[in-house]
């Protein structure tokens, strides 16, 4: 007997119940969105500089530019707060090799 739920609803309910098997499926996001979500998660977690270097390298391979990364920061700032965004921006600037520009201001 079916539950009347979509496959996505079933998978989400499974994860909510502690079943992590649905997370083994690839995300149904385009590459740019997937990368920007990962960047947003790093901001929320106040990820370390080494993680930013890896994410920016991957973003570069995905052909994301810093305008898109900044757009993600703007979009999540009201949710995660100014301190997390400033912390992330400092790490992004260092990872992108722009730290001397910040030191001059």
CA-nearest of 100, 87, 101, 97 to 48 is 87
CA separation for the pair 76, 94 (Å, rounded): 20
Task: Kindly state the average pLDDT of the residues 57-70.
Answer: 90
Mean pLDDT of 44-55: 93
pLDDT band at residue 40, thresholds of 50, 70 and 90?
A: very high
Return the ∠ at Cα 75 (arms to 29 and 44), rounded to 5°: 80
d(CA 91, CA 2): 49
pLDDT digits (tens, 9 = 90+) for 72-99: 999 999 999 999 999 999 999 998 888 7
Cβ contacts of residue 2 below 8 Å, gap of 6+? none
Give the pLDDT of residue 105: 52
**Number of Cβ within a 10 Å radius of residue 66:** 14
**pLDDT for the residue 19:** 95
């Amino acid at each position: 007997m079916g539950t009347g739920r979509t496959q996505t609803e079933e998978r989400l309910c499974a994860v909510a119940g502690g079943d992590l098997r649905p997370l083994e499926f690839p995300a149904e996001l385009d590459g740019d969105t997937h990368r920007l979500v990962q960047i947003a998660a790093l901001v929320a977690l106040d990820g370390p500089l080494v993680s930013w270097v890896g994410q920016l390298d991957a973003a570069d391979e995905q052909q994301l530019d810093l305008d898109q990364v900044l757009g993600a920061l703007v979009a999540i700032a009201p949710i995660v707060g100014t301190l997390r965004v400033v912390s992330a921006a400092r790490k992004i600037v260092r990872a992108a090799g722009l730290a001397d520009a910040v030191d001059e201001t």
